[in-house]
Structure formats: C-alpha cells, structure tokens
Amino acid sequence: MSENRHRNPNQRAWRRFRRNRGAGVALVLLVGVTALILLWPLFNSPRLASVLPKAMTHSPNAISDAQFAPPGWAHWFGTDVHGRDLLSRVCYGARV
C-alpha cells in the first residue's frame, strides 16, 4: 500500500486499467474498428480489391438493382432503396 501512495493518479489509473482484462479487450476492439474505418477508402484500390472479399470493395455511392437486399456474402449489412451497400456507407460516414 505504501508504494501505491507514491504514484500519481494517472499511474494508479493506468495500473488499474492494465489489470482489467475486459478493458484491454475493449481497447483492442476500439483500435481495430478505428483502423478499419480510417483504412476503408484504401480497400477500393485495384491491388487490394483483388485480395479482399467482394463485400469490402463496394463504393458507397454505386447504385445497383439490388434494392433492399438482405445481409449476405455480397452485402454484409444489406443495401438501401437505391441498391447502395450499407457497410461501405457506414464506414465512410463514421469517418466524418
């Protein structure tokens, strides 16, 4: 307990955070989602598009005939009234 008194509040908070396994998992997920959102525009490049699943390469403004398509392999979140892929629109919108 005496060694804990000599730490400033930030050091004590960091120590509690490191001991909390749920907080560590949440931090990893938050960093992963943030990286995915920031890197999403790169997925439309031809080099990466050939390697990635088709659902990750849709343009957010591309209109198709697949109106209100349910979630599936081609559109993980489904499509809207204009046939636009909702996953790509969510990722582009999250950047704002």
**pLDDT at residue 4, rounded to an integer:** 65
pLDDT beyond 60 at 38: yes
pLDDT in tens, 55-82: 888 888 889 898 999 999 999 999 999 9
Angle among Cα 15, 32, 94 to the nearest 5 degrees reads 115
Q: Report DSSP state, residue 69.
A: P
Query: CA-to-CA distance for 11 and 13, rounded, in angstroms?
Result: 5
Q: How many domains does the chain have?
A: 1
Structural domain harbouring 6:
2-95
Report DSSP letters for 8-65, one per residue.
-HHHHHHHHHHH-HHHHHHHHHHHHHHHHHHHGGGGGSHHHHTTS-GGGS--TT---S
**pLDDT at residue 71, rounded to an integer:** 95
Query: CA-to-CA distance for 96 and 92, rounded, in angstroms?
Result: 7
Q: Is-contact 22 16, C-beta < 8 A?
A: no
